[in-house]
Amino acid sequence: MSSENTKKKEGIVPEPSLRRMPCYLAYLKLAKRRNQEYVSSTHIARDMGVDPTQVTKDLSYTSIVGKTRVGYEVNTLIDVLEDFLGFRKLDKAYLFGAGSLGNALLHDHGLDQYGLKIVAAFDIDPKVVGRTIEGVPILHVSEFEKMKDKNVEVGILTVPAEFAQDVAQQMAKGGIKGIWNFTPIRIRLGEDCVVQDTSLYAHLAVMFNRMSSIKK
């Protein structure tokens, strides 16, 4: 019965830990540049201004094991983290909504480095459909259903708020397994499709609030 209890939690990594991992990765890549062979959680923590035990706990979710009194091997840790985070294998993605924000994402080539390649974009606006942005063709949404490319599991949602839920449902129906949701709308879908919210404006709101706090 103990195993029954832990089954649900087994293997699930806390979101805060997952969000910190790319920071460790960035730190490690800089350490590699400086030709550091080993780096300890103590140093990572000091340099990044976080708690040392948090670093070891976060890293313990991966397969890495550190050496007592030495730390972690930089190269190995980079490999393990990139692999763990899914940045190594390239995922193809469709982008839905080639408006202002969608356009913006099409201009960001950084995504490629992290394992995401936008292969097509969809919109309904005749002014953009048929065009190509940064090498990515913009098709009419109706084309999506015809494609059924089983290799494309990620969908980026950048449509106006009022269409978000509808389009998301189409995406899920069309075989999309992960929706990267840039709208401020909370998407409601079944269990077989993951929704990751990334509302830029939510972050802006937090920043504005914290800024007004320090003024007092």
Report the site for DNA in 4-23 (rule: CB under 7 A): 9, 14-17
Q: For DNA, which stretch binds (CB under 7 A), given 23-31, 52-60, 88-96, 167-175?
A: 52-60
Q: Give yes or no for residue 51 binding DNA (CB under 7 A).
A: yes
Asked if 178 interacts with DNA (CB under 7 A), we say no
Task: Give the nearer residue to DNA in terms of CB position, either 43 or 140.
Answer: 43
Task: State which amino acid sits at residue 180.
Answer: W
Where does the chain have alpha helices with state H? 2-7, 15-33, 41-48, 52-60, 74-85, 100-107, 110-113, 141-147, 161-173, 200-214
Distance in Å from the first CA to the final CA of the chain: 53
Phi first, then psi: what are they for 34, rounded to 5°?
Answer: -85, 10
Find the Cα–Cα–Cα–Cα dihedral 162, 167, 169, 175, rounded to 10°: -160
Tell whether residue 171 is a contact of its own copies (CB under 8 A): no
Report the amino acid identity of residue 61.
Y
C-alpha angle with apex 35: 33 to 41, nearest 5 degrees? 90
Based on the shown chain and the rule CB under 7 A, indicate whether residue 173 belongs to the binding site for DNA.
no
Least CB distance to its own copies at residue 63 (A) = 14
- The answer to the question of residue 72 lying near DNA (CB under 7 A) is yes
Q: Does position 146 bind DNA by CB under 7 A?
A: no
Q: How far apart, in Å, are the Cα atoms of 57 and each of 13, 62, 199?
A: 11, 10, 28
Residue 116 interacting entry, from its own copies, DNA, none, C-beta within 5 to 8 Å by type: its own copies
Q: What does 152 bind: its own copies, DNA, none (CB cut-off 5 to 8 Å by kind)?
A: none
Which residue is it, tokens 């950048």? 158
For residue 139, the cross-strand partners are: 122
Contacts of 29 (CB under 8 A, 6+ apart): 78
Q: Applying CB under 7 A, which of residues 24, 40, 123, 183 lies at the interface with DNA?
A: 40
CB of 34 to DNA, least distance (A): 16
According to CB under 7 A, which residues from 123 to 142 bind DNA?
none
φ, ψ at 94 (rounded to 5°):
-105, 145
Provide the 8-state DSSP code for 75: H
Closest approach, Cβ 36 to DNA, in A, equals: 12
Q: What residues between 89 and 118 interact with its own copies by CB under 8 A?
A: 91, 100-101, 103-111, 114-116
**Least distance (Å) from DNA to the CB of residue 8?**
8
Q: Which residues bind DNA (CB under 7 A)?
A: 9, 14-17, 40-43, 50-54, 56-57, 59-60, 64-72
